[in-house]
Chains A and B, each alone.
Chain A
Amino acid sequence: SAVISQKPSRDICQRGTSLTIQCQVDSQVTMMFWYRQQPGQSLTLIATANQGSEATYESGFVIDKFPISRPNLTFSTLTVSNMSPEDSSIYLCSVASPETQYFGPGTRLLVL
């Protein structure tokens, strides 16, 4: 199984600012995924990050708001830009294996 770490684990931010979330995996993986879980809701896929190419965003999510970097096969970042209170969520990165998809511990973000 993959071991995934995320930083920060939580943060409180002011509206209009940006936050970058880091995701580190203990093995090389082709695809990494970024999900958002708003309060009381299920997980929604934001984008798929492949190493060496631009991320693929799901409907409703755009690169200007959620820029993603994938500099190598073990690391990715997600930036939440120009934040508003509606961005308060848990942000999770995940990686796929033949057996399942493993999730990082998540970043709990509160925007005031």
Chain B
Amino acid sequence: EDKVVQSPLSLVVHEGDTVTLNCSYEVTNFRSLLWYKQEKKAPTFLFMLTSSGIEKKSGRLSSILDKKELFSILNITATQTGDSAIYLCAVGSGSEKLVFGKGTKLTVNP
């Protein structure tokens, strides 16, 4: 059975801190790994990773994939209160469907 495990499940930091969120997976026929930010209802796409070792970056957020060790990390530098959200990791295997992890709830305090 395909599995995606995220850690930590929750994290509380102060503004300006740097955080690293982890995602490990076990899937057959890996296709891609995606990171989403969920603030209210709809997850908002952040990154899609398909190749090992290539960092994707968007502003203060960056992510990298290790297909040998079957994990990915999402880094957020200089955190702001607006970064408070649930961060979801999902893996696509085979068909287009995604398997999601339970998410990491990040709280950034002023």
Determine whether the beta carbon of B96 is less than 8 Å from that of A31. Answer: yes
B67 is an interface residue with CB less than 8 A from chain A: no
A41 and B45 CA atoms in complex are apart in Å by 18
**Category for how many chain B residues contact A:** 20 to 34
For window 54-92 of A, CB contacts with B under 8 Å fall at 58, 90, 92
Given contacts A42-B103, A43-B88, contact A101 B41 (CB under 8 A): no
Question: How many chain-A residues does the 8 Å CB contact rule pick out?
Answer: 21
A53 on the B face (CB < 8 A): no
Interface string of A25-62 (1 = CB under 8 A from B): 00000010100000001111100100000000010000
Q: How far is the CB of B15 from chain A (nearest CB, A)?
A: 26
Also in contact, A42 and B102, with CB within 8 A (given A48-B95, A48-B97): yes
Closest to B48 in A: A100
Question: B34 contacts the other chain (Cβ, under 8 Å)?
Answer: yes
A42-B88, A43-B88 as given contacts; A106 in contact with B100, CB under 8 Å: no
Question: Mostly helix, strand, loop or mixed at chain B's interface?
Answer: strand
User: Given A41-B102, A42-B88, do A102 and B45 touch, yes or no (CB 8 Å)?
Assistant: yes
Query: Do B97 and A100 touch (CB < 8 A)?
Result: no
> Could you say which residues of chain B place their CB within 8 Å of the CB of A48?
95-97
Taking a contact as CB atoms under 8 Å apart, the answer to whether A100 and B34 are in contact is yes
**List of B residues within 8 angstroms of A105 by Cβ:** 41-42
Using A99-B48, A103-B36 as known contacts, list a sample of 18 further A-B pairs with CB atoms less than 8 Å apart, ordered by residue number in A. Answer: A31-B96, A33-B98, A42-B101, A43-B100, A45-B97, A48-B95, A48-B97, A92-B41, A92-B43, A100-B34, A100-B45, A100-B48, A101-B34, A101-B92, A103-B42, A104-B42, A106-B42, A108-B41
Return 28 A-B CB contacts under 8 Å, by A number: A41-B102, A42-B88, A42-B101, A42-B103, A43-B43, A43-B88, A43-B90, A45-B97, A45-B98, A48-B96, A90-B41, A92-B41, A92-B42, A92-B43, A99-B48, A100-B45, A100-B48, A101-B45, A101-B90, A101-B96, A101-B98, A102-B45, A104-B42, A105-B41, A105-B42, A106-B40, A106-B42, A108-B41
